[in-house]
A = this chain, B = another copy of it.
């Protein structure tokens, strides 16, 4: 595989060198203030990039994990590699708990490793499968844009062409995926179709993926947007300033429950309270078919409290990290929450739109 960024029509957050020995990713921790490419040479690098969130977002975590499996193959012993391959894959699979694409990608890659005894052939088979996964995710997102576009067009028509105000939480853009993004795909599609849109961007504490990444993406694409605190969405919805909410998801059950960045549930409640459509955009790779009760069963990652206590930003030419609360006040860092299906208007998938309920999801995905 050679996914060098420059060869692609659209920007991508991940690519590989021609030799298939290293994976390159945008270090998203530093955006928008510094654009740094990180080179990942082995599984430890891959795991660090996932854990410390150089890369984040369900589809991109899946794609990075697929590349990680390739690097496992690269560094495997020549002989009797089976245990090594299994153990390293298990280690990779455990690096973050909530996004289901991570486990999905590893589970899809592993049989390709085990099927091939010859090391060189195994490496080639791994890269081939990784490329398939990566191109699948890019294409999934493109289709999500295609299927989401009519929802926005409809609102635009109803408003007589006046600006359609969308709200999104966190970053489910191309930085979180491969191309187009999930939540942003319908926005990009609408913008390219000449529909007048404006996006309220939740800053998305603690790591500010909205303020840092979504605002950066939308700005680069020339899409009107305004950064707001995570607290503001309810007020805007009460006052008719939001026409539709679109978010991504890290894992959704087949019963329609949606795990996404912490705070998504609060926006869904406000949307419901104000009769505003709340859509979740996802490729089918983000569905978890094994769980039925998302609130009870989806594991919610707790991360380092210092991600809350220290806020990173730009000052006098460099990135600094400032302490906000008193030095001795503890903090609790829950990274995701689960929005129950009853609050979700629908899913936008690569096969079209469905209601957040098992029957309708299985209508679109009878084969999975």
Contacts and interface: CB of A to CB of B under 8 A. Distances in A.
A236 B269 CA distance: 15
Contacts of A236: 334
B323 A203 contact: no
Contacts of A270: 265-266, 269
B315 A215 contact: no
Given A238-B337, A269-B269, A295-B238, A263 B231 contact: yes
Contact of A325 (B227, B233, B234): B227
Interface stretch (A75-83, A116-124, A186-194, A205-213): A205-213
Contact of A230 (B230, B324, B328): B230
A228 B314 contact: no
A330 to B, nearest CB: 5
A152 to B, nearest CB: 21
A93 B337 CA distance: 42
Interface centre among A33, A208, A265, A315 (most CB of B within 10 A): A265
Given A233-B266, A262-B235, A269-B234, A334 B228 contact: yes
Given A270-B266, A324-B211, A325-B211, A308 B238 contact: no
A312 interface: yes
Copies of this chain per assembly: 2
A332 interface: yes
B269 A215 contact: no
A33 B309 CA distance: 13
A313 interface: yes
A234 B208 contact: no
A19 B219 CA distance: 56
- The binding surface of chain A is classed by DSSP as mixed
Interface in A317-368: 320-326, 328-334, 336-338
Contacts of A204: 231
B228 A308 contact: yes
A226 interface: yes
Contacts of A314: 322-324
A215 B229 CA distance: 20
Contact of A322 (B233, B312, B325, B329): B312
Interface in A32-71: 32-33
Nearest to A235: B337
A262 B232 contact: yes
A244 to B, nearest CB: 18
Nearest to A343: B273
A104 interface: no
A219 to B, nearest CB: 5
Nearest to A205: B229
B230 A229 contact: yes
A203 to B, nearest CB: 7
A298 B77 CA distance: 70
A309 B228 CA distance: 9
Contact of A331 (B227, B234, B310): B227
A260 to B, nearest CB: 11
Contacts of A263: 229-232, 234
Contact of A219 (B212, B216, B328, B338): B328
Given A235-B336, A311-B324, A315-B322, 12 more contacts: A203-B324, A219-B329, A226-B332, A227-B308, A227-B309, A229-B262, A232-B262, A232-B263, A232-B334, A238-B295, A266-B266, A269-B269
The 4 nearest A-B residue pairs measured at CB: A231-B263, A313-B322, A235-B337, A215-B329
